[in-house]
Amino acid sequence: MATSSTTGMDRRLAGWACIAANRLACAAAPAFALMAMISASDNAPMLCMQNPDALGFDGMPVMYLLMSLFHLPPWLRLISSIGRASNDH
């Protein structure tokens, strides 16, 4: 049988895990946006570019931008929760 202190500890750990997961989820979109900017620049290392087109723009920046857009929902939830919190006061 679980004691109340064990249950409280489990709840605190679950709370910290939820906070860590939310922050980690928010880290993906800016990281992919930065990767898109780096891979689109002229000074980007030529690791993946074997045959760039006439503009020097291959599929990697587009892929990183799409991945950044795909990982935007945590930011949108965060922004909407801030808006709701300011409307409550």
Residue 32 domain-assigned? yes
Can you give the residue range of the structural domain that contains 62? 28-88
Residue 8: pLDDT over 70: yes
pLDDT recorded at residue 42: 65
pLDDT in tens, 15-60: 888 888 888 888 888 888 888 888 877 665 555 555 555 455 567 8
Handedness of CA 50, 54, 57, 60 (dihedral sign): negative
pLDDT recorded at residue 66: 87
Residue 68 domain-assigned? yes
Report the C-alpha gap between 50 and 43 in whole angstroms.
15
Residue 15 domain-assigned? no
pLDDT recorded at residue 49: 52
Is 26 within 8 Å of 19 (Cβ atoms)? no
Residue 70: pLDDT over 80: yes
Q: How many structural domains does the chain have?
A: 1
